Amino acid sequence: FAADAGTISQSSPASPDARWTAPQIAGLVTIRATVSPDSGPSITSQVSVNVQIGSFARALEIPDTRATRLAALPDGRMAVVDGANGTLQLITGSGAMLWRVDGLATPVAVACLDDLYVVERGASRISVWDTTGKLLRSFPIDTVLPNGIAAGPNPGELTITDTGGGRAIVIASST
């Protein structure tokens, strides 16, 4: 194992596992792994990593989900959508699940105002949930490939990104 920057540690030179520690400076780093069989040529594989310097606070384990997107509420709770499993769940700031709703149609994005707004790509709609997990309403959206949702730009508005249509759509959250 080799890297242009940072350090690589192994339990022994013959160990198949290695750990790379990023350098303390930002930039592109190439990491290489070479495998040398008992006979035949060696094979090298490499990957480039863009190191960004930041302050890592913690990782949250979110059991039984493949989190697609999340949005934070002002009180620290987070709404998490899982597009692969069709779920919406509300978790605490430490990752503990408060509730979970199954059966959504490919939820790909979520935004939080007073309620939770979920883009269900598989049904071309927005579903609106309260913070206890109760479905309040849903409404259709005219998009080619909805991919994101955010609160704003003005109070009471939501912006939906339509990747397939190459546009952003602003709607009233009361729709």
Q: Could you write out the three-class secondary structure of 112-150?
A: ECCCEEEEEHHHCEEEEECCCCCEEEEEECCCCCEEEEE
Residue 171 has pLDDT above 90, yes or no: yes
Residue 134 has pLDDT above 80, yes or no: yes
Contact present, 145 and 163 (Cβ < 8 Å): yes
Query: What letter represents residue 98's amino acid?
Result: L
Token couple for 146: 């909805």
Encode pLDDT of 106-121 as tens digits: 999 999 988 999 999 9
Contact present, 157 and 174 (Cβ < 8 Å): no
Distance CA 172, CA 73 (A): 19
| DSSP label of 52 | -
Cα dist from 99 to 30, 69, 130, 136, 175, whole Å: 42, 17, 11, 16, 25
pTM for this model (two decimals): 0.68
Residue 14 has pLDDT above 80, yes or no: no
Q: Taking residues 130-149, report their average pLDDT.
A: 96
Tell me the pLDDT band of 162, cut-offs 50, 70 and 90.
very high
- Residues forming beta bridges with residue 110, ordered by sequence position: 118
- pLDDT over 90, % of the chain: 57
| Plot region of 13 (φ>0 → left; ψ -120 to 50 → alpha; else → beta) | alpha
Residue 126 has pLDDT above 90, yes or no: yes
| DSSP label of 39 | S
Distance CA 72, CA 112 (A): 7
pLDDT at residue 37, as a whole number: 81
Q: Determine phi and psi for 133, rounding to 5 degrees.
A: 95, 15
Tell me the pLDDT band of 40, cut-offs 50, 70 and 90.
confident
Residue 103 has pLDDT above 90, yes or no: yes
pLDDT at residue 77, as a whole number: 95
Q: Taking residues 91-104, report their average pLDDT.
A: 94
| DSSP label of 14 | T
Tell me the pLDDT band of 13, cut-offs 50, 70 and 90.
confident
Lowest mean pLDDT among 30-34, 102-106, 128-132, 157-161: 30-34
Q: Taking residues 123-144, report their average pLDDT.
A: 96
Tell me the pLDDT band of 60, cut-offs 50, 70 and 90.
confident
Contact present, 163 and 149 (Cβ < 8 Å): no
Token couple for 37: 């069989």
